[in-house]
Structure 1
Amino acid sequence: MIRKAFVMQVNADAHEEYQRRHNPIWPELEAVLKSHGAHHYAIYLDQERNLLFATVEIESEERWNAVASTDVCQRWWKHMRDVMPANPDNSPVAQAYRAYGFIFCRPDKAVTPPSGNFNSAPLPG
């Protein structure tokens, strides 16, 4: 499983509308994400900075990238364009983040941390 994280923006006056449009998400969009190997997709709002921090687990980069060319994704991007900054192709403006390390907490076993330096990158702002 590949973990991805990225940040997008939402317009300052559109927090509630953004959330309304995601609850519930279009069933056909959810089906496309699942069929393309996306799992545990979560979006968090930083209200003060109008930032959306998203995480998703994917099965492959190729399948994840193929979502963008689906009809439902193209329609979703157009649907969301008025509540967030978008690129010329209507995709949301997004900044990807690289994972530096993971902490696995298992109460039943002691965990030995991996070797190396794992520093988190600060969020923009």
Structure 2
Amino acid sequence: MQRVCFLLKVRADRQDEYRRRHAEVWPEMLAALSDSGWHNYSLFLREDGLLVGYLETEDFDAAREAMAATEVNGRWQREMAEFFEQPEAPDEAMVPLTEVFHLA
């Protein structure tokens, strides 16, 4: 199982709405994530807008491709793009960090 961690930056003026949207993730989006191999997926938001994402998957590239092929992901990404500081779409800006330690 691959452990994947990535960082994004949420705009300071959009953090409250970002939290609200993630308290109400569409059921079809949740199903698509699970069906695409995203497991133990968590997002952590720091006060300055730093967003830390973590997930476990068999193959991150395959999981991303599977999500990209879903209609619901396209809709979600378009709606969420305005929340982020980076110019790329959120799912394209997820660059995995290098794991340097893991306590098994």
Q: Map 1:7-86; keep pairs closer than 5 Å.
A: 7-48=7-48, 50-61=49-60, 62-85=62-85, 86=87
The aligned amino acid for 2:73 is C
The aligned amino acid for 1:26 is W
Of residues 78-87 and 25-34 in structure 1, the stretch that sits farther from structure 2 once superposed is: 78-87
Shift of 1:96: 2.2
TM-score for both structures, normalised by structure 2: 0.86
Q: Which runs of 5+ in 2 are unaligned?
A: none
Aligned counterparts of 2:35 and 2:11: Cα–Cα separation in 1: 30
CA contact (8 A) 1:6 1:53 kept: yes
Aligned counterparts of 1:38 and 1:94: Cα–Cα separation in 2: 14
Q: Match of 1:107?
A: none
Aligned counterparts of 1:35 and 1:81: Cα–Cα separation in 2: 23
- Higher helix content, 1 or 2: 2
The aligned amino acid for 1:84 is F
Of structures 1 and 2, the one scoring higher in RCO (CA 8 A, sep 6+) is 2
CA contact (8 A) 1:58 1:64 kept: no
Identity of aligned residues (%): 32
Aligned counterparts of 1:21 and 1:5: Cα–Cα separation in 2: 21
Larger Rg: 1
String of CA shifts for 1:30-70, please: whole Å, max 9, x gaps: 1011011111111111212x110000001223133321221
Aligned counterparts of 1:51 and 1:34: Cα–Cα separation in 2: 25
Q: Match of 1:114?
A: none
CA contact (8 A) 1:10 1:52 kept: yes
TM-score for both structures, normalised by structure 1: 0.73
CA contact (8 A) 1:5 1:56 kept: yes
